[in-house]
């Protein structure tokens, strides 16, 4: 009996260490990135706007991780069912909003490289802020039916069942995230293919496309985040149910540590002050 209990506790302690490590890395990485965006960039480019919202999304995930660390370290949940539901929603909102903002960045880079002149009226900070507001609205609206589904299963919440409650297999809302992720992944793949083709086509025209390597690294990092973080969880939601899905949730939280790499490759002069960047543009 004691061996069984110990065997059950060991993986939970691993989860606690993993979430704690993600929190320790993700908090400074995203806080510093957000500080750099607000201090050194004018947020006049759509990419910078999407980056700010991506960093905010990752920080919202990070602030929910201490509760997961406590739960898996102690095996108990001392708070209410509503708090458990709210923390779960923060995680799901991060996965969805992060995937959408990363896709927006890929689409923005596609327009900048493949259709630089025709897309000028679309690629504005005003349009980016409107798109970001729409994303947060959609994510929040989806929470309503999802929270109602969770509420039925959390009414009998015990001190050891938070984050490991079962979900309805046939609930339509359960298919929203996997379908969304597959659509966004397809968009990222198409963007990567079109930009790669354009760059190779203009390989010898240095004035046509600057920083070719960085441009492709943006798309590579986006596909890495989707492949490692979003895709396994999306497939798991279709065929696996909690608590067996917890390892995939661990993988999904890695996105808040990988996203800062997307920031670095997506913005020219990421570490430069706004004035330096403006001078470089004028030249």
CA distance 104 to 109: 9
Banded model confidence at residue 9, pLDDT cuts 50, 70, 90: low
What pLDDT score does 191 carry? Answer: 92
Residue 250 neighbours by CB distance under 10 Å? 17
In a domain, 21, yes or no: yes
pLDDT in tens, 213-268: 777 888 888 899 999 999 888 888 777 655 578 888 889 999 999 888 777 766 65
Domain contains 259 = yes
Q: Is residue 283 part of a domain?
A: no
Q: Where is average pLDDT lowest: 34-38, 153-157, 199-203?
A: 153-157
**What is the Cα Rg of the chain in Å?**
21
Q: CA 233 to CA 96: how far, in whole Å?
A: 12
Residue 280, in any domain of the structure: no
What is the span of the domain harbouring residue 190? 2-270
pTM of the complete model: 0.84
State how far the Cα of 12 lies from the Cα of 3, in Å rounded to an integer: 15
**96-113 per-position pLDDT tens digit:** 999 999 999 999 988 888
Number of domains in the chain: 1
Q: What is the CATH number of the domain that holds 133?
A: 1.20.1070.10
CA–CA separation, 76 and 24 (whole Å): 22
Say yes or no to pLDDT of 187 above 90. yes
**278: in domain:** no
């Amino acid at each position: 009996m004691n061996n069984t209990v110990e065997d059950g506790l060991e993986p939970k302690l691993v989860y606690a260490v993993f979430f704690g490590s993600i929190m320790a890395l993700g908090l400074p990485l995203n806080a510093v990135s957000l500080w750099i965006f607000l201090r050194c960039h004018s947020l006049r480019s759509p990419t910078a706007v999407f980056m700010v919202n991506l960093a905010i999304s990752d920080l919202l995930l990070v602030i929910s991780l201490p509760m997961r660390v406590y739960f898996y370290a102690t095996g108990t949940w001392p708070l209410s069912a509503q708090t458990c539901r709210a923390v779960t929603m923060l995680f799901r909102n991060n996965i969805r909003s992060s995937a959408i903002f990363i896709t927006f960045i890929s689409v923005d880079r596609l327009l900048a490289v493949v259709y630089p002149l025709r897309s000028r009226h679309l690629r504005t900070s005003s349009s980016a802020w409107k798109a970001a507001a729409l994303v947060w609205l959609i994510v929040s609206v989806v929470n309503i039916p999802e929270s109602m589904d969770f509420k039925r299963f959390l009414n009998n919440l015990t001190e050891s069942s938070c984050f490991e409650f079962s979900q309805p297999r046939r609930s339509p809302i359960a298919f929203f995230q996997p379908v969304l992720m597959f659509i966004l992944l397809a968009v990222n793949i198409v963007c990567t293919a079109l930009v790669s083709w354009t760059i190779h086509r203009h390989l010898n025209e240095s004035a046509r496309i600057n920083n070719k390597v960085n441009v492709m690294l943006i798309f590579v990092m986006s596909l890495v985040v989707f492949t490692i973080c979003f895709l396994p969880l999306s497939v798991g939601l279709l065929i696996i149910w909690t608590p067996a899905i917890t390892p995939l949730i661990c993988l999904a939280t890695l996105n808040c540590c990988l996203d800062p790499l997307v920031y670095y490759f997506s913005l020219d002069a990421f570490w430069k002050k706004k004035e330096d960047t403006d001078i470089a543009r004028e030249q």
